[in-house]
Amino acid sequence: MIVIRTIMNVLPEKQKEILQTLLSLVEPQANDSGCLSYGIFCDIEDKNIFSLISEWETRQDLNRYIRSGRFSVLLGTRSLLCEPLKIHIFSVLEAEGMETVNSVRKQTS
């Protein structure tokens, strides 16, 4: 699995415009082949910082997204930001869930 996190520090007066743009990207993206999840998050300490986090089945799926028109729209928001986009791409070799949490909690009892 591949995870991409995009951090956007938005100009305060452009917050509504950015949010509308981001929301327009969510629905179609979730239907793309290889997209496992796609979400927009607002920083609880600074309402002008947004994070987009998406999970992809393969690197090829992510590369297809990066070459897409939707990603170009995201890159086109640069003039609405206080600083350049920050993009982090993570390759996840293993993922665990609640069963691991429950198992570890039982070990400490």
What total of structural domains would you count in the chain? 1
CATH number for the domain spanning 15: value is: 3.30.70.100
pLDDT digits (tens, 9 = 90+) for 29-86: 556 789 998 899 999 999 999 999 999 999 999 999 999 988 999 999 999 999 999 9
Q: How confident is the model at residue 88 (pLDDT cuts 50, 70, 90)?
A: very high
- What does the alpha-carbon distance between residue 54 and residue 30 come to, in Å, rounded to a whole number? 9
Q: Give one DSSP letter per residue of 12-81, joined into a string.
A: GGGHHHHHHHHHHHHHHHHTSTTEEEEEEEE-SS-TTEEEEEEEESSHHHHHHHHTSHHHHHHHGGGGGB
Domain boundaries, position 16: 2-107
- What does the alpha-carbon distance between residue 107 and residue 85 come to, in Å, rounded to a whole number? 42
pLDDT digits (tens, 9 = 90+) for 77-87: 999 999 999 99
